[in-house]
C-alpha cells in the first residue's frame, strides 16, 4: 500500500482487487459517497496496485519503483484532473495550466505533494469552480500516446461533479474517451455529489459507493496524524460525521486554542451588525462565496458546530462532549445573552443554507435570509426563511 | 560530483533542453535537468514525460555523480557568465556550487532519484535514414498534422517503413500529404508508427549537417540518435486511417500552372477573404484559372487571373485560402499540377517535376461555395 494510514473500506477494496486479480476490472469507475470518506485515497491505491511490480496481500507493495512514484504522485502514467481556476483566457489548444498564475501552479504542486503523503488531503485551489475543458482535451491527447512505462494508465478525476459545472462541456468532452477508452487504461471519477453528473457519465461508469468512515478508523487516523487526545478525537469525529476533510480543516484552522474562532467571529458579526452595515456584511459574505467557497463553507460549518455546542451546553450544563470546550466562556456568554434561543433551529438553518448554496440560488439573498433566520432563532422564534427558498410553503 | 566545463558548451546544451522542459507542470521536478557525470562524459537530460532529450558533452571529470538542477535558473546563470571555464560541484544535500574566475554561485539541486526514469527502448529494431532526407520529410508533412484532440491518430505523422519503400503521411482531414521515398531505409525494420508532431519539430533542429540518423523503435517509445543527442518520444497508440482509399482515381480535369505565380496570387487574393472562412474560389477554364473572393462583412472583394493550361470542362471550386497556400508552398518544383473532378470532391496537387526517388502528393478538400 502507498498510504500507511488510509482507513480501508474492506468490502469495496475486496471487490476492486478481486476484479484486478481476475483481469476484469471495469475501464471506468465512479467512486461516490460522502466527503472525507477516503474515495481519492482508494483510487490512488488502486492505481498503485495496477502498476505494482510485486503486489502483496491484494495491495500494492509500496516499495517497488512504480509504487514509490505513485506514492509521490509522480508516476508518468498517472493523470490527475482537478478543478482549476481560470485566471487567464485560454485558447482551444492551450494546456490547462496556462489558465493559472505562477503562484497557483506552485500551490497546485504543493497540494499534490501533500496529497501524496496524506490520503485525506483535499486538493482545492481558490476560485476553482469547474474542471476546465482544456484539462479534458489534454487528457484526450495524452491518452492517445502509449503508456510511458508500459503498465496501466490511471486517470483520476477528483471532484468529478465539476465536469458539469457551470456547463456540461467538460463532461461531454470526456464521453468519447469513456466510451472508447485506450487499452490498459482505467478511469476513476471521484465525487461527493454524483447527482450533479449527467446520466451520460453515470451510464459509462461502474458505480462504487464509499460510505462515511467507521468511527474507529477515522479516530485512529486523527490520533496518529494529530496526536489528539482520544476523547477530543471522539468528539471531533462524531461531530464531523466521519468526514475527515472537515476534521482536518477543523484541526488545521489554527492552534487548538483558536478552534471555533471562525464561528465565534462570524456569529459576533451577525449579531452586532447595524442595519446600515447590513448590506456590506451580506455582500462581503457573498463575495467570499464567489472567491473562496470552501472558506465560507468552512465558516458556516463551524457556525453550525458552534450552535450544536450551545445546544449541548444548554441541555446538559456540562462541558463534556463539547467540540469547542476550550471556549466554554464564550459559549456560556452566548447562552446567558440569549436565554430563549432555539439553538437546534439555528443549527438547522445553517445546514439548510449550506446545502442551498450549492444550488443555483442567489447567494446574497440566501445569506440575508440565513442571517434573519439565525437572529429569529436566537430570540426564540422559528422562521424557516432559508428553507422557503428551496420549496414553496405547504398548506397551513 | 565535480567537473569543469566550458561555459559555452554548458549554455548551449541547456538552451537546447529548454525546448523540452515544460513551462508549467504539476510535477516540479520537470522544470529541472538531470546532470549525470560518468565515464568522463557529462550528460544532461530533460523530459516533459512525453518527450525526453539527452545531450552528452565533454567535461573534465573530478568526481562522478548525478543531480537535478532547475534548468531556467541554471541557464540564466551560465548566460550571464563570460567565456571561460566553470567548475560545477555538488556539496551536501544536493547543494550545487558553480565556481568561475570571478566568483562562486550556489543553487539548490534535487536528488537524481526524484527524476523520471529514462524510457527503455528495444534497440534491436532500428532503421537508418539520411539526416537531410528526414528533414525534408518532416518539412513536407508536419504542416498538415491535425491539432484536433478528438482525432488523436491525426496528431502525428505516420511513418510507414516497408520492404521496398518508406512512406510518411499527415492529414488533418481537410488536407493530406503523402511522401513516398522509393528506397527502403537501412536496417530492415518493417512497420507503422505515428510520431507526435511536437517531437518531429524538435528533431528537425538536429538534422542539419547530420549524415545518418538512427530510429530505434521500441514497444512504446522511439529513440532517435543524432550525434551527441538522443531524443525519445512516446508513440501515438492509434490506428491511422486508410489514407490510400481517399486518393481519387478519376480526376479528369487537369491544370498545369506556374507555382510562384499561383502562390502569390492566392496570397494577395486571400487578404480580402472572410476572416472566418478564408474562402476563395477558383474558376478553371481554358485560359487557366481565375481566383476570386468576396466578403460581405467587410464589403471587400478581389480577383486575379493566373495563366495556365487547363484540360477539361470548366469548373468553379472553393477552398480555404490558408490550406491552399500551405499546399502550394510545400511543393517545390517550378510548375504545379492539379487534378480535379467536381466542386465537392478532393483534388490532388503535386509537383510537375518530382525529385528523383521520391513522390510527394497532396490532397485538398474543397469547401462548398456559398450561393
pLDDT for position A294:
65
pLDDT band with cut points at 50, 70 and 90 for residue A385: low
In degrees rounded to 5, what are phi and psi of residue B166? Answer: -140, 130
Cβ separation of B219 and A150 shorter than 8 Å? yes
B15 touches chain A (CB under 8 A): no
Euclidean distance between the first and final Cα of chain B, in Å?
Answer: 72
Q: Which residues of B touch A143 (CB under 8 A)?
A: 152
pLDDT for position A255:
39
Helix (H, G, I), strand (E, B) or coil at B296: coil
pLDDT for position B56:
95
A53 touches chain B (CB under 8 A): no
Query: What residue segments make up the domains of chain B, in order of their start?
Result: 2-114, 125-244, 249-364
pLDDT band with cut points at 50, 70 and 90 for residue A376: confident
pLDDT for position A395:
39
> Is B347:B341 a contact under the CB 8 Å cutoff?
yes
What's the CATH number of domain B249-364, 3.40.50.1820, 3.30.2320.30, 3.10.150.10, 3.40.50.150? 3.10.150.10
Cα(B350)–Cα(A35) distance, integer angstroms: 62
pLDDT for position A392:
41
Distance from CA of B233 to the nearest CA of A (A): 9
Q: Which of A303, A268, A375, A296 minimizes the C-alpha distance to A385?
A: A375
- Going through B75-133 in order, the beta strands assigned E by DSSP cover 85-90, 95-99, 104-108, 126-130
Residues A245-274 have a mean pLDDT of 67
Q: What is the DSSP letter of B31?
A: G
pLDDT tens sequence across B282-318 = 999 988 899 999 998 899 999 999 999 999 999 999 9
A153 touches chain B (CB under 8 A): no
Closest A-chain CA to B236: A145
- Grid cell, residue B176, equals 493530406
Query: In this predicted complex, what is the ipTM?
Result: 0.83
Per DSSP, helices labelled H in chain B are 7-17, 71-80, 131-141, 197-204, 259-270, 321-329
B155 touches chain A (CB under 8 A): yes
Cα(A27)–Cα(A189) distance, integer angstroms: 11
B241 touches chain A (CB under 8 A): no
Cα(B72)–Cα(B31) distance, integer angstroms: 8
pLDDT tens sequence across B77-92 = 899 888 889 999 999 8
Closest A-chain CA to B24: A97
Q: Find the CB nearest B28 among A109, A144, A146.
A: A109
pLDDT at A295 over 80: no
- Two domains, one topology: B2-114 and B125-244: yes
In this structure, the number of other CB atoms found within 10 A of the CB of residue B150 comes to: 13
Q: DSSP letter string over B217-278?
A: E-SSEEEEEETTEEEEEEPB-SPPP--GGGS-S---EEEEEEHHHHHHHHHHHHTTS-TTT-
Cα(A344)–Cα(A339) distance, integer angstroms: 13
Beta partners for B316? B283
- Grid cell, residue A42, equals 482508494
Portion 47-86 of B in contact with A at CB < 8 A: 49-50
Closest B-chain CA to A183: B237
Cα(A254)–Cα(A252) distance, integer angstroms: 5
Helix (H, G, I), strand (E, B) or coil at B299: coil
- Grid cell, residue B114, equals 526524484
Cβ separation of A95 and B219 shorter than 8 Å? no
What mean pLDDT is reported for chain A? 86
pLDDT at A384 over 60: no
Biggest alpha carbon–alpha carbon distance for chain A: 68
pLDDT for position A390:
46
pLDDT for position B369:
81
Q: Is the pTM of this model over 0.90?
A: no
The reply to whether CATH 3.10.150.10 applies to domain B125-244 is: yes
B118 touches chain A (CB under 8 A): no
**Chain pair A-B, CB pairs under 8 angstroms:** 67
Q: Find the CB nearest B150 among A95, A138, A140.
A: A140
Q: How far is CA A229 from CA A220, B134, B213, in A?
A: 11, 69, 67
pLDDT tens sequence across A2-60 = 999 899 999 999 999 999 999 999 999 999 999 899 999 999 999 999 999 999 988 99
> Is A135:A96 a contact under the CB 8 Å cutoff?
yes
Cβ neighbours of residue A298 closer than 8 Å, sequence gap 6 or more? A249, A253, A262
Q: Which residues of B touch A107 (CB under 8 A)?
A: none
Q: Find the CB nearest A146 among B149, B153, B234.
A: B234
pLDDT for position A391:
44
Portion of chain A with pLDDT greater than 90, in percent: 47
Closest B-chain CA to A149: B119
Per DSSP, helices labelled H in B129-196 are 131-141
Cβ separation of B149 and A140 shorter than 8 Å? yes
Q: Which residues of B touch A76 (CB under 8 A)?
A: 49, 116
Cβ separation of A74 and B114 shorter than 8 Å? yes
Portion 91-120 of A in contact with B at CB < 8 A: 93, 95, 97-98, 100, 105, 108-109, 112
What's the CATH number of domain B2-114, 3.10.150.10, 3.40.980.10, 3.40.50.970, 3.30.300.30? 3.10.150.10
Cα(A310)–Cα(A306) distance, integer angstroms: 6
Per DSSP, helices labelled H in B18-103 are 71-80
Q: Extract the residue ranges of chain B whose pLDDT is less than 70.
A: 122-123, 370-371
Distance of CA B58 to the CA centre of its chain: 29
Cβ separation of A108 and B26 shorter than 8 Å? yes
**Which is more confidently placed, A292 or B305?**
B305
Q: How far is CA A179 from CA A172, A199, B9, in A?
A: 11, 13, 50
pLDDT at A393 over 90: no
Distance from CA of B28 to the nearest CA of A (A): 7
Cβ separation of B25 and A97 shorter than 8 Å? yes
pLDDT tens sequence across A114-139 = 999 999 999 988 888 899 999 999 99
Q: Which residues of A touch B196 (CB under 8 A)?
A: 145
> Is B42:B90 a contact under the CB 8 Å cutoff?
no
pLDDT for position B337:
94
- Grid cell, residue A7, equals 482507513
Amino acid at each position: 500500500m502507498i498510504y500507511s494510514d488510509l482507513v480501508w473500506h474492506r468490502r469495496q477494496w475486496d471487490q476492486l482487487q478481486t476484479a484486478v486479480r481476475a483481469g476484469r476490472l471495469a475501464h471506468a469507475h465512479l467512486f461516490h459517497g460522502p466527503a472525507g470518506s477516503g474515495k481519492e485515497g482508494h483510487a490512488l491505491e488502486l492505481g498503485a496496485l495496477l502498476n505494482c511490480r510485486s503486489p502483496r496481500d491484494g495491495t500494492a507493495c509500496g516499495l517497488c519503483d512504480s509504487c514509490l512514484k505513485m506514492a509521490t504522485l509522480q508516476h508518468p502514467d498517472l493523470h490527475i484532473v482537478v478543478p482549476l481556476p481560470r485566471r487567464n483566457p485560454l485558447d482551444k489548444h492551450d494546456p490547462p495550466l496556462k489558465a493559472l498564475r505562477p503562484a497557483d501552479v506552485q500551490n497546485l504542486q504543493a497540494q499534490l505533494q501533500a496529497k501524496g503523503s496524506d490520503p485525506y488531503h483535499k486538493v482545492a485551489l481558490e476560485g476553482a469552480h469547474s474542471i476546465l475543458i482544456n484539462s479534458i482535451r489534454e487528457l484526450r491527447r495524452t491518452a492517445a500516446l502509449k503508456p510511458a512505462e508500459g503498465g496501466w494508465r490511471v486517470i483520476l478525476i477528483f471532484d468529478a461533479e465539476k465536469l458539469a459545472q457551470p456547463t456540461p462541456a467538460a463532461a461531454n468532452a470526456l464521453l468519447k474517451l469513456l466510451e472508447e477508452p485506450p487499452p490498459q487504461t482505467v478511469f476513476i471519477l471521484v465525487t461527493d455529489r454524483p447527482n450533479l453528473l449527467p446520466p451520460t457519465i453515470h451510464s459509462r461508469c461502474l458505480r462504487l459507493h464509499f460510505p462515511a468512515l467507521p468511527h474507529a478508523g477515522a479516530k485512529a487516523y486523527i490520533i496518529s496524524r494529530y496526536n489528539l487526545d482520544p476523547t477530543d478525537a471522539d468528539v471531533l469525529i462524531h461531530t464531523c460525521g466521519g468526514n475527515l476533510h472537515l476534521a482536518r480543516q477543523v484541526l488545521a484552522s489554527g492552534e487548538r486554542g483558536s478552534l471555533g474562532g471562525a464561528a465565534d467571529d462570524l456569529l459576533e458579526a451577525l449579531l452586532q451588525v447595524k442595519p446600515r452595515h447590513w448590506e456590506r456584511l451580506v455582500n462581503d459574505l457573498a463575495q467570499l462565496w464567489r472567491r473562496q467557497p470552501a472558506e465560507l463553507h468552512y465558516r458556516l460549518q463551524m457556525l453550525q458546530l458552534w450552535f450544536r455546542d450551545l445546544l449541548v451546553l444548554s441541555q446538559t450544563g456540562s462541558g463534556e462532549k463539547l467540540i469547542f470546550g476550550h471556549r466554554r466562556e464564550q459559549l456560556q456568554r452566548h447562552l446567558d445573552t440569549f436565554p430563549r434561543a432555539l439553538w437546534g433551529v439555528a443549527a438547522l438553518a445553517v445546514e439548510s443554507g449550506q446545502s442551498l448554496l450549492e444550488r443555483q440560488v442567489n447567494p446574497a439573498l440566501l445569506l440575508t435570509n440565513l442571517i434573519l433566520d439565525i437572529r429569529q432563532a436566537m430570540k426564540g422564534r422559528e422562521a424557516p426563511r432559508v428553507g422557503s427558498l428551496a420549496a414553496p410553503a405547504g398548506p397551513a | 560530483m565535480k567537473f569543469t566545463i566550458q561555459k559555452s558548451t554548458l549554455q548551449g546544451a541547456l538552451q537546447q533542453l529548454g525546448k523540452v522542459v515544460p513551462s508549467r507542470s504539476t510535477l516540479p521536478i520537470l522544470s529541472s535537468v538531470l546532470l549525470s557525470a560518468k565515464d568522463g562524459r557529462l550528460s544532461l537530460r530533460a523530459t516533459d514525460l512525453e518527450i525526453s532529450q539527452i545531450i552528452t558533452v565533454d567535461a573534465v571529470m573530478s568526481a562522478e555523480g548525478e543531480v537535478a538542477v532547475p534548468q531556467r535558473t541554471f541557464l540564466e546563470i551560465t548566460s550571464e557568465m563570460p567565456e571561460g571555464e566553470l567548475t560545477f560541484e555538488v556539496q551536501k544535500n544536493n547543494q550545487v556550487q558553480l565556481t568561475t574566475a570571478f566568483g562562486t554561485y550556489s543553487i539548490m539541486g534535487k536528488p537524481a532519484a526524484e527524476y523520471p526514469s529514462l524510457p527503455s527502448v528495444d534497440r534491436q529494431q532500428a532503421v537508418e535514414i539520411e539526416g537531410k532526407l528526414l528533414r525534408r520529410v518532416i518539412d513536407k508533412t508536419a504542416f498538415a498534422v491535425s491539432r484536433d484532440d478528438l482525432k488523436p491518430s491525426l496528431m502525428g505523422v505516420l511513418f510507414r517503413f516497408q520492404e521496398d519503400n518508406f512512406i510518411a503521411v499527415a492529414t488533418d482531414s481537410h488536407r493530406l500529404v503523402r511522401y513516398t521515398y522509393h528506397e527502403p531505409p537501412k536496417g530492415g525494420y518493417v512497420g507503422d508508427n505515428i510520431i507526435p508532431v511536437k517531437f518531429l519539430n524538435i528533431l528537425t533542429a538536429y538534422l542539419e549537417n547530420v549524415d545518418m540518423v538512427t530510429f530505434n523503435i521500441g514497444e512504446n517509445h522511439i529513440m532517435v540518435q543524432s550525434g551527441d543527442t538522443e531524443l525519445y518520444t512516446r508513440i501515438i497508440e492509434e490506428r491511422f486511417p486508410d489514407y490510400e482509399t481517399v486518393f481519387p482515381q478519376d480526376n479528369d480535369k487537369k491544370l498545369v500552372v506556374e507555382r510562384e505565380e499561383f502562390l502569390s496570387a492566392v496570397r494577395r487574393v486571400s487578404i480580402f477573404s472572410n476572416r472566418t472562412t478564408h474562402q476563395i474560389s477558383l474558376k478553371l477554364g481554358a485560359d487557366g484559372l481565375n481566383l476570386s473572393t468576396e466578403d460581405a462583412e467587410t464589403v471587400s472583394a478581389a480577383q486575379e487571373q493566373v495563366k495556365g493550361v487547363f484540360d477539361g470542362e470548366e469548373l468553379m471550386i472553393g477552398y480555404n485560402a490558408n490550406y491552399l497556400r500551405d499546399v502550394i508552398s510545400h511543393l517545390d518544383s517550378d510548375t504545379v499540377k492539379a487534378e480535379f473532378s467536381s466542386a465537392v470532391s478532393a483534388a490532388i496537387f503535386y509537383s510537375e517535376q518530382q525529385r528523383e526517388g521520391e513522390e510527394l502528393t497532396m490532397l485538398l478538400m474543397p469547401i462548398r461555395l456559398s450561393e
